[in-house]
A and B are shown apart, each in its own frame.
Chain A
Amino acid sequence: EVKLVESGGNLVQPGKSLRLSCGASGLDFDDYGMHWVRQVPGKGLEWVSGISWDSVNIGYADSVKGRFTITRDNAKDSLSLQMNSLRPEDTAFYYCVRQSANDAFDIWGQGTMVTVSS
C-alpha cells in the first residue's frame, strides 16, 4: 500500500521553530518530486514548498521563503520541512504530497497540524 505519513505537528510559540517529517512506504520515493501543501482550517489549499527527486530543484512560496527549508533523504524514504521564525499565519494543517510524473499531486498524506500561538 502506498502511504505518506506526516509527523511533528505541534503547538509552538511565535518566533520558534518546528520540524515536520514525512515517511513514505510502498512507493519508489527517490523517483518522485515531493511537496508540502498546507490548509488553514476553513480556508483553501496553499502550496508551501517542493523538492525534486535529486534535491536539485527546490521551490518555496513567497510566504515562507527564507524561513522554511525543505529537505529529503532518499536512503530513508523521508521528507522534512524545517520551519523557523514561525508566525500565527503559519497555523495550518500540513500535507506531505507526492508529485507524479505528470506534474500533479497524486498521493497525499493525512496531514499534521501546526498551531502557532502564544
Chain B
Amino acid sequence: QSALTQPASVSGSPGQSITISCTGTGSDIGNYNYVSWYQHHPGKAPQLMIYDVTKRPSGVSNRFSGSKSGNTASLTISGLQAEDEATYYCCSYAGFSIYVFGTGTKVTVL
C-alpha cells in the first residue's frame, strides 16, 4: 500500500490551465476506474471534485476534468482562478476493500 505519487507543487497564472498527475501501479489506478480527486483548503474538510476517473459531482465547476492512461491519472484545472489555490489529492481503489491516497499537490495561483 504505497501512496500514489503526485508532484509536490504546481503553479499557474489566472486563466491558465494546469494538470496534476497521479501515478500508481497496476494494482490500483491501472486496474480500476475508481479514481477520485479531492480539493483541500486548510482548516476545511476535503471536497470531492472528480470520481470514477472523469465524472464531476453536481456543483463542481466544469473547469475541473479528470482522465487516466495506464497507471497514471490526471486532474486538469482550466481557467485557473484564485479560489482554486489549495492542495489536491488523488485516490484510487486498490482491491480487497483497500483505498490509497496520493501524496498531495499544492496548487499555487500566481
Instruction: Give chain A's interface residues, CB within 8 Å of chain B.
Output: 35, 37, 44-47, 50, 52, 57-63, 95, 100, 102-106, 108-111
A106 & B1 in contact (Cβ 8 Å cutoff): no
Question: Is B3 an interface position by the 8 A CB rule?
Answer: yes
Chain B contact residues (Cβ within 8 angstroms of A): what range? Answer: 20 to 34
A104 & B48 in contact (Cβ 8 Å cutoff): yes
Q: Which of B10-18, B19-27, B77-85, B88-96 contacts A (4 or more CB under 8 A)?
A: B88-96
In whole angstroms, how far apart are the Cα atoms of A58 and B99 in the complex?
11
Residue contacts A-B, CB under 8 angstroms, 19 given = A44-B101, A44-B104, A45-B38, A45-B91, A46-B101, A60-B98, A61-B1, A95-B46, A102-B34, A102-B51, A102-B55, A103-B51, A104-B34, A104-B36, A104-B51, A105-B38, A106-B48, A109-B45, A110-B45
Closest chain-B Cβ to A62's Cβ sits at a distance in Å of: 5
Can you name the residue of chain A whose Cβ is closest to the Cβ of B96? A59
Known interface pairs A45-B46, A63-B1; 15 further A-B residue pairs with C-beta atoms within 8 A, sorted by A's residue number: A35-B99, A44-B101, A45-B89, A47-B100, A50-B99, A59-B97, A59-B98, A100-B48, A102-B51, A105-B46, A105-B48, A105-B91, A108-B46, A108-B47, A110-B45
In whole angstroms, how far apart are the Cα atoms of A65 and B47 in the complex?
27
Question: Is B102 an interface position by the 8 A CB rule?
Answer: yes
B55 & A59 in contact (Cβ 8 Å cutoff): no
A50 & B38 in contact (Cβ 8 Å cutoff): no
Q: Which of B3, B38, B97 lies at the interface centre, i.e. has the most chain A CB atoms within 10 A of its CB?
A: B97
In whole angstroms, how far apart are the Cα atoms of A60 and B94 in the complex?
12
In whole angstroms, how far apart are the Cα atoms of A18 and B98 in the complex?
23
B52 & A59 in contact (Cβ 8 Å cutoff): no
B89 & A44 in contact (Cβ 8 Å cutoff): yes
Residue in B45, B48, B97, B103 whose CB lies within 8 Å of A57:
B97
The 5 closest A-B pairs by CB, nearest first: A59-B97, A104-B51, A108-B45, A104-B36, A44-B104
B91 & A47 in contact (Cβ 8 Å cutoff): yes
In whole angstroms, how far apart are the Cα atoms of A50 and B40 in the complex?
21
Q: Which residues of B contact A47 (CB under 8 A)?
A: 91, 98-101
In whole angstroms, how far apart are the Cα atoms of A102 and B34 in the complex?
8
